[in-house]
Amino acid sequence: MPRLAYASTKSSDMRYLVRVEIPDPFFLLDTGDRTIIFLDHREFGVFQEQNENPAIELVLVNPLMEAAREISGDGPAAGKLALHILRTYGVLGDAIGVPTSFPLNVADFLRAQGARLTPTHPFVPQRLRKTNEEVAAIRESLRRTHEAFRIIETMLREAAIVGDAVEYRGALLTSEMLKRAAEEALFARDLFNVEGIIVSCGPHAAIPHHPGHGPIRAGETIVCDIFPRHRASGYFADMTRTYVKGSPSSEIVRMYDAVRTAQERAIAAVRPGAIGRGVHAVSCVTFRELGYDIGDRGFTHGTGHGLGLDVHEEPFLNATATTALEPGHVVTVEPGLYYPERGGIRIEDVVVVTDNGCENLTEYQKEFVIP
């Protein structure tokens, strides 16, 4: 089936297929035996200079745009250009796969002209199985992210407890201060914080994706979830560690131990042939065995997700995931527990499925209590 896409390389599918940064939307046509991209004068020369894939055919789109303007009737310019491309390359009569993010106005116009568009997901299925080069890129993104955690740990270690408060160099330590220091470390290592950073304390930590704000308090859990993208490769890291500054309660220690146990068991369950929901079930069974809730309280989310050019991508490890894991799949394993009266705890590592199990790519310590 021929495939047609229209997006910039902000789309991870387009970035994967093209491997050259192109900031404005362009058409890509895969006829089955040819992959053709259509660029205007602004990006044409850049692609010629940077492209390392000789299988991609480059076409200057400006003459095609001139011809498309002659198509009669109302319709978006991109729709008329797409129609002209499909006619020119002889695939208008075929069923044509398009990504689920394909522009609706272009799709409506093409269908009105008789095109048979089939939403296709995943549009680039080969993205699920990472090559050795992709695994190395993810490992490098993770390695660079370690420094942000080291800085957070150092600041917590150097901070002083004053009553229930925590002070750093004479000022009240806040989530914002820790995030700012982490962001500076990421930027210095060519990592871009495109999706935000989570540093949440106490009740905020009990909401899994609360970004966190305000003072850090002694004895309360601090969830730090950092997921930057490496500028050059485009591949994400995703790591979570949970800390307590000072002395945690016995219940918080028990929660932390339960999360560690659930993560260790879930990682051990990641292997070729394992079903995503089966790995998730391991986390759920572990928490139930240890006396914790599943659902609206306790463990409230999936066990993990794929990682690559998107921070959340297939395959998933959750209650509805039916994909069987294969060598080359890269997934996070991040069980957690969340109770408003106690805070939240999450630990996240990234693993790659191997021929006989999995390998942990994160390679970073799990420090919990910082006196």
Rounded average pLDDT over 27-49:
97
pTM, two decimal places: 0.95
Mean local confidence (pLDDT), 35-43:
97
* Percent of the chain's residues with pLDDT above 70: 100
- pLDDT of amino acid 195: 86
78 has pLDDT over 90: yes
Separation of alpha carbons 100 and 103, rounded Å: 9
Query: Residue 101 belongs to a domain with what CATH number?
Result: 3.40.350.10
One domain, residues 99 and 174: no
Q: Are residues 241 and 266 in the same domain?
A: yes
What tokens does 341 get? Answer: 């009266």
Q: Are residues 359 and 221 in the same domain?
A: yes
Average pLDDT over residues 151-167: 98
Statement to judge: residues 196 and 344 lie in one domain? yes
Q: Among 127, 160, 182, identify where a domain stops.
A: 127
Chain-centroid distance of CA 218 in Å reads 32
Please state, in angstroms and rounded to a whole number, the distance separating the CA atoms of residues 285 and 268. Answer: 14
143 shares a domain with 119 = no
Instruction: State whether 217 and 123 are in the same domain.
Output: no
Q: For residue range 83-133, what is the model confidence (pLDDT) as tens digits?
A: 999 999 999 999 999 999 999 999 999 999 999 999 999 999 999 999 999
Among 72, 98, 127, the domain-final residue is: 127
Predicted local confidence at residue 187, as pLDDT: 98
Please report, rounded to a whole number, the percentage of residues in the chain having pLDDT higher than 90: 99
92 and 140 part of one domain: no
Max Cα–Cα distance, the chain, nearest Å: 75
Co-location of 159 and 119 in the same domain: no
Residues 71 and 149 in one domain: no
Reading the block at residue 354, the tokens are: 């191997």
Residues spanned by the domain of 115: 3-127
Q: Are residues 328 and 193 in the same domain?
A: yes
How many structural domains are present in the chain?
2
* Domain final residue, candidates 79, 104, 127: 127
Mean pLDDT over 340-367 rounds to 98
Mean pLDDT, residues 255-278: 99
The verdict on 90 and 200 lying in the same domain is no
The rounded Cα 34 to chain-centroid distance in angstroms is 30
Which CATH number do you get for residue 174? 3.90.230.10
Q: With 90 as the cut, is the pLDDT of residue 162 above it?
A: yes
22 and 79 part of one domain: yes
In terms of phi and psi (left: phi > 0; alpha: psi -120 to 50; beta: otherwise), the region of 108 is alpha
- Helix, strand, coil percentages (3-state) for the chain, rounded to 5, are 35, 25, 40
Alpha-carbon separation of residue 347 from 66, 190, 260, 296 (angstroms): 55, 24, 7, 19
CB-CB contact of 308 with 235 (8 Å): yes
Q: What pLDDT does 63 receive?
A: 97
Output the average pLDDT for the chain. Answer: 98
Tokens of 131: 């090559």
Does position 306 have pLDDT exceeding 90, yes or no?
Answer: yes
